[in-house]
Structure formats: C-alpha cells, structure tokens
Structure 1
Amino acid sequence: MARKTPSTKTLRQLFAHSGNQCAFPGCDHPIFNKNGILIAQVCHINAANEGGERYNADQTDEERRSYENLLLMCHRHHIETDIIEDFPEEKLREIKKIHEAQFSEEGREASEKMIRQLKFEIDYYWNRLSKKEFDFEELKVERDFDKEILDLFDELEEHIKSISNYCDICAESDSTKVLRIDLTELFKKLGLDYEKTEKVPHYENPLINRNWDLHHIGRPNYFSHLYLCVNQLKLKSIEILLKNDSGNEELRNLLDRYQKEFEENYSNSYCVD
C-alpha cells in the first residue's frame, strides 16, 4: 500500500514550530534557504511503511503521517537517526518535544515562504502547458487548466457516459436482429439467397448472439467498477479538501451528499454473471 503524504495543514504546523532549523540537538542546518526552498527532510518517528525504522503496526496511516509522528531534520541527521539502537522512538519524541518547545511564532515566515514557493511552481507548470506549441496545432486536444477538482470529476463522468453510449450502439449493431437485417440487404445486392444461412445450426452461426458475453456480462461489470472507482475518488478528494478547510460548510454538505450517494451505489452494486 502506498504511503500517505502529510497534509498541507500538518506541514504548515511542522514548519511553523521548526524555528527554520534541524531538530537534532546542536544542529542549526536551515529547513529553508534564503530563497524559500526546502533543503531539509520530513522524517518519521515511527516509519510510514512496514520494514522501516521504528515501524508500529498498531498505528493507522493517519497516525503515521500526523504532526505528532513527524519532525524536520537535515539529511545527515535523518540518516543518523535511522540507527534504532541509538535513537529509539522515545528518544526521537524527546528530541521533537525539546526542539519545538523553543519556538512558538518563529518559523511561520519560513512556512509562508514554502507555501508561496509551492504555489509559484504549480502556477508556473500550468502556465507553461497552456502556452505549449504543437506540431499539429489544429489537431491538439483542448484542455481547460483552470478547472477545479469537482469540475474535472463532472467532466470525467460525462466522458464515461459517452463511452457507455458508444458501447450501447455497438451492442445494438451486434444484435442478431440488426445483423440479420444488414446481411439480408447485403445478400440481396449480391443476388444471393440469405435463407440458406438458416440451415446452419444456431450454435455454429457466428452471427447469432454475437459478442453476447462482452455486451451483457463484461461491459456492465466493467462500468460498475469504473463508476464506483470515480465516485470513491470524488469522495476521498472532498475528505482531503475538508481536512484542509474544516470550516467550509459547502464542502461539509458535499461530503454528506457524496457519502450517501456512494453508500447507496455500493449497496446496489452486484456483478453480472
């Protein structure tokens, strides 16, 4: 299972209490340089993944990426504290407590620099893509890079519906009824007797129930999984947004709505067999 990265809120809290220096006793290595670039590392007291230093199987993923389980160190001391015999869990928690007790409001400026730097890099990336030149400009796929997360989900769901409609059209064209009509017309144009095909047993006729399993079993199961995946991803995204903006009533209402919709959809989802 992939490790969960710390939330923006947790990182902001860490940076604000770091004093902009490594938490290791006596080390004054900065967390951010004068240009606001992060030059240290976010370290776990109890490892994020099984097999790591001081891994605690009883912790949840949220506890592993929580503020209480993280501290900021330079690369050198991050490596040194991986020696468990010298730095057990209790020792690292003591280091964190003593270091952060030295700082209250100090470090906020470094935190804001980090956020500004990150925002600049994100804006620069999308701006660069929006101005990207293509060899065949008239054929490129147009994208709106200013769309928000929920708008992108709406667009994705529309694309899924379009694909489902295309599949319906294909299923209809593969039906025995439509194939019979099309072939009858074709045989007439060629001066052939279509009725002779009736002598072929239905189980040997490739035009009877053509691709039936794909259309009536494979396709419904595929789209059931696809819709559940998209809706679960939408719900998880709202959860993340709400964690970083817990007072947002609109997000709270969306979370309640999406939770009810997902539970209802999941409760009524069965594989076709």
Structure 2
Amino acid sequence: MKLTVDQLHVSLDRRPILREVNLEAAKGDIVGLVGPNGSGKSTLLRTVYRSLRPADGVVRVGDDDVWELSARTAARRTAAVLQDAGTTTGLTVTEIVALGRTPHHRLTGRDSAEDHQAVAEAVARCGVAPFTDRDYATLSGGERQRVLLARALAQRPQLLVLDEITNHLDIRARFELLDLIRSTGITTLAVLHDLDLAARLCDRLVVLHEGAVVAAGPVLDVLTPDLLHDVFGVRGETARHEDGVVRITYAAQPLALDRKSEPEPGLAGR
C-alpha cells in the first residue's frame, strides 16, 4: 500500500521540528529516511504510525488520512519496529510475536485460527522457531530484532515503519535483517543511521536536514558527492558495483589544523 506524506509540519514545545515535509513510498518499495542527528527522522516516523499528531499536513496510507482512521484500523495497516523496545521480561518469544495480532482480536479476546496461522508464518519467516519458548529478555540483540520484526509481520500490515533497527547489531546480523526486510515485499519506511546500509537496502532515499527534505529519489541520484559533503560533512562517491550492490567510497578526511598547538613565532626549535 502506498504511503504519502504531504506538507507535514511538526512542532514540539512550540519549537518547529519538521516543516513542509513531503515524501512518497510506492507499494512494495523500501524508502530510507536518512540525515544527521537531530534532523527530525524519528519525529517524522512518529507522525506516520500515529504516535505524534502533526501541526499541519497529511499522512496517508493508501487513500486514507491515518489521523482520520480509528486507532484499531490504523494499527492493522501499519506496524512499527523501534530501536528502544525494552527488554520485556517474563514473556516468551511466541507470546511477543502473538502481540502483533492484538489489533485483529475480537471482543472475546480469543485467538482465532487466523491468529495462530499468522504467528506461525511470522515465526518461520523470521527464523525464530528454534527459541519460541525462551524468555525474550534472554535473547541476543540480533535475535530480539528478529522477534520484533516477526511481531510486526504477524500483524499482517500493509506498511512497515522501522526506526534504526540495525543499531548495536554485528555486521552479519545487520545484513541478515536487511535481507529479511527486503524479502517481505511490504511497503517500508526505514530510518537508517548507516548510509552504506541505506544504500544497500533501499529503493529510494529521503534526506532530512534541519527539519526539511533536501533531497529525495533513487540512491545514486541522492547520495551525490555534493550532498555527502554539504549535509553529512564527508567526502565520498556512490556507485553501483558489479555485484549490483550500491556502495559509498569515502575519501580520507584531512585533520583540521589546531591553531593552538602551533608554536608561537620565534619559539620554534627552543
């Protein structure tokens, strides 16, 4: 399902955080949201999954404004996986994944055959079957992220919203998680801190800087040498290699000369 953000404005404590933000994610696309710390990425996600109401503008999933939908209906369409999910002690992996079915429960609260099937499919897809009976709090970081993704998939959403879910994972776990996300075929909006991972995963990128969109489009069109320098303060070039993977090659950054460390005139050699 298509995601559309149109002329979004967000303020916190009367301070503007986002202004005139526009973006689109076509059905099945993975759109990466990148930018320096404090540029408004997580704030934008919060408006998409209805955690933060914007001051102005519209967020549409499909043809519907998410803020005009009931919370239950919105939760059936959009699933979020966040970086600070807590440890959630006392619940097994199966119980965590089953929480994804909450928006679909009837008044009786009983799990239906569809609920059981959705949980089983999500567990299998995310490769967490070997530890379904374990306490979630005992898992490694990579295992926890797989479980949280399984919970989101059990929700059977039409939009996935991901906030820095590769943080604190080793490189193998990162690649496995990104490949898993791509295999779902679900429209996805993902905040990613690592530009290399964003280039590897995403069909398109949206760059936020100081609360505004400064670039949007295919990865190679967005991550230009000028943008890398002006927004991220680094020198580099982006290219698609023979294996089909987009990579960024960074230039060595010269160290800024510390004027205070220079010898005073006439003192050199003393």
Same fold (TM over 0.5): no
Higher strand share goes to which structure?
2
Higher helix share goes to which structure?
1
